[in-house]
Structure 1
Amino acid sequence: MTQTYSAERPLRWGIIGCGNVTELKSGPAFNKAEGSRLVAVMRRDAAKAEDYARRHGVPRWYGDADALINDPEVDAVYVATPPGSHLDYALRVARAGKHCCVEKPMALNAPQCMAMIQAFESAGRELFVAYYRRSLPRFNQIRQWLDEGAIGQVRHVHWTFSRAPLAQDLAGDYNWHTDPAVSGGGHFVDLACHGLDLMIHLLGSISRVAGMAANQQGLYAAEDAVTGSWQFASGVTGSGFWNFGCQVREDQLVIHGSMGRIECSVFDAHPLVLRRTEGVQRLEIAHPENIQFFHIQNMVRHLNGEIVHPSLGRDALQASWVMDQMLSSFRRQVSQRV
């Protein structure tokens, strides 16, 4: 008989890697979502895990991942560590017969993602990925406009993202986000996956991809400049530009249609803009205090059989595959130099 999760019998979560990303974005939402409860956390530094648990009212803390995974009071595990460890932890969770949510990007590359998917399918458990934009009201509004034909037939989507280099990178300090062995690439992999996954969610699967990447600044080993183009299975085309050495920060996603266009940002809280011949509509839709709240609530609803969660493992796989294609030539050049 399928377990139904409720306030009386919540889905009991454990977090592996209760670092900064869990302080506000996700951690508190596991207790705010209906039918959900955070019961255990883990960090390799057990003192930090204990501190997190005390501040957030979590009953148990661990310094060992297997102890949390095998805790009989834990039903599901949220892996909030860097991508390089996602595969290992996820496979351990699958072997324990528990549900899992991993942070984004899903893993270092698409083959690792597929290995995770297969493990959970074999175990008969669910694998979710924290592409929480798929569950946010802000982007659900865009999907509603598209479904209603507000801009007619979609023709093309373009995303521009640029920003100045981080002080940490300029100083030459270690940053795991730019260590390909830990993150899968550079800031492109860490950030572009969000927007690419969002576009796939809004416009469907991508069938063809091309891209070029470069290391223009020499601040770290990973790419810092990427351009890409692609085609969705529907025939809609797409393009993107990402650069982490520019003077001006820009984050603009534009969906062009036969009767108008939609403008938004992926990360910034700018208004949604719908432009048509008859006029311009601007909507302000605020994010929840804990930005993963709706994502977490939807995981409970999925497990209760109420909905299909919008960000399952097979959904998230494609963003990793697209980034692999865009970075393939750059990665090959780097490996040849090494």
Structure 2
Amino acid sequence: MSTSTSPTKQIRMGIIGLGLIAEYHVRSLHTISGVSIVAVSDVNPNRLQAIGEQLQLPESKRYAHYEALIRDSEVDAILSLTPNDVHFDIIRIALEEHKAVLAEKPLTLTWEEADQLKKLYTANPVPLLVHYKHRYGAAFQYTKQLLDEQKLGKIYNIQFRYLMDAFAPYRQHPYTWRHNLAKAGSGVVGDTASHIIDLARFLVGEFKSVAALLHTITPERLDPITGLPVKVDVEDLAAFHGIVGDNTVGTFITHKNAIGIRHDIEVDIYGELGTLHASLNNPESIRIVLRDLEHPGAEYESWAVPAIYNHTAYEDFVELARGKSVDRAPLFEDGYKNQWVLEKILQSWKENGRLVEM
């Protein structure tokens, strides 16, 4: 069924994957005018019943398998919130049905799947937004404006840190699908590094090369059902560097063992005219210092972020589903190029951390 291009058409959403994060997405969608959630899908019957009842959906709109939901003629658009191993199949079927997709990152489990999707998407494109939600952070949107205005001049170095404490030992985080290579494809590389890769591409440009160091801090976690230890076969820390954009040196680190940092992304950008610092947790301002021969002693200033930067990925997705174009949105091509960087990070680590050209 074709997605309508009417600018005011009601968008009937179907949600696939009803883990705890789904409740956040449901609340976010309910804030957007002209959107209704008409169907849900999950392999867990308890979650399917709970969310189905919460949304007051009939049993006929609570699907045990995502394919039935996607092929439902009364569903216009799909929100996919599943483990990475089914991302490819969900998007593939949505392309067949020509339905808009708000896809979780990473785009697919592997590069080979992404490359196959590229061929299918090129032959039959649909409105598709990859949920790199952090590029919508107000401070990062303002940073993009300042860089486009050449406020820092040529950029020499960028440093990105995406840190959390969710996996810190005191939290005793149990084993989940994110710790399983077959389900996730990678650990923090696909989970959190994909976000700062997107931010770097959004702010500075394409990756030209990358070298990686991956590490597993916690090699076992307890199965939440059996209580027995299970081997973690993915990395939970990723550090990488490379050349980005116009010969800019980029350094990146991400992990979830940063005690005292609940959830933050920090970006430092060093250019020929000055330095800029932006943070996910400070959406109201950025810190910047600009120096030249006339102002050699200039100090850091706090610049307020304009109120115009208040859009969300959900709002942009609905606009795309209605046939509009949105400049800032991370689209299929962004997900595809991001997946290539993930592939090269994993390749670098397998080859003893050597610098890999893109």
TM over 0.5: yes
> C-alpha offsets along residues 155-182 of structure 1, whole Å, 9 cap, x if unaligned?
2101234455726798584222121211
| Distance of 1:323 and 1:204 partners within structure 2 | 16
- Which of 276, 279, 288 is 2:290 aligned to? 276
- Give the RMSD, CA atoms, in angstroms: 3.1
Structure with the higher helix share, 1 or 2: 1
- Does residue 51 in structure 1 map to residue 44 in structure 2? no
In 2, are the aligned partners of 1:79 and 1:100 still within 8 Å (CA)? yes
**Which structure 1 segments of 5+ residues have no match?**
334-338
1:241 Cα offset (Å): 2.5
Distance 1:150 1:166, change over 3 A: same
- TM-score (norm. length: structure 1): 0.84
Per the alignment, residue 41 of structure 2 pairs with: 42
Distance 1:233 1:330, change over 3 A: closer
TM alignment of 1:253-292, pairs within 5 A: 253-266=267-280, 271-277=285-291, 278-279=298-299, 280-283=301-304
- TM-score (norm. length: structure 2): 0.80
Aligned partner of residue 121 in structure 1, secondary structure: helix
TM alignment of 1:9-20, pairs within 5 A: 9-20=9-20
| Distance of 1:172 and 1:29 partners within structure 2 | 26
| Distance of 2:12 and 2:282 partners within structure 1 | 32
Aligned partner of residue 94 in structure 1, secondary structure: helix
Distance 1:296 1:248, change over 3 A: closer
Distance 1:306 1:241, change over 3 A: closer
1:330 Cα offset (Å): 3.7
Distance 1:204 1:88, change over 3 A: same
| Distance of 1:264 and 1:152 partners within structure 2 | 17
Per the alignment, residue 246 of structure 2 pairs with: 234
TM alignment of 1:1-338, pairs within 5 A: 3-7=4-8, 9-24=9-24, 26-58=25-57, 60-163=61-164, 166=167, 173-219=174-220, 220-245=232-257, 249=261, 251-266=265-280, 271-277=285-291, 278-279=298-299, 280-283=301-304, 294-302=312-320, 303-308=322-327, 310-331=329-350
Of the structure 1 ranges 191-200 and 164-173, higher mean CA displacement relative to structure 2 is found in 164-173
In 2, are the aligned partners of 1:138 and 1:285 still within 8 Å (CA)? no
**Which structure 2 segments of 5+ residues have no match?**
221-231, 292-297, 353-358
Distance 1:34 1:114, change over 3 A: farther
Aligned partner of residue 208 in structure 2, secondary structure: strand
| Distance of 2:114 and 2:313 partners within structure 1 | 20
Aligned partner of residue 261 in structure 1, secondary structure: strand
In 2, are the aligned partners of 1:211 and 1:227 still within 8 Å (CA)? yes
> C-alpha offsets along residues 43-93 of structure 1, whole Å, 9 cap, x if unaligned?
112442232133245563222212211111111111110111101221122
Distance 1:270 1:297, change over 3 A: closer
Instruction: Give the paired residue count.
Output: 328
Aligned amino acid, residue 315 of structure 2: Q
Q: Identical aligned pairs, as a percentage?
A: 22
Aligned partner of residue 252 in structure 1, secondary structure: strand
> C-alpha offsets along residues 160-217 of structure 1, whole Å, 9 cap, x if unaligned?
3445572679858422212121112123431111111111111111122222223354
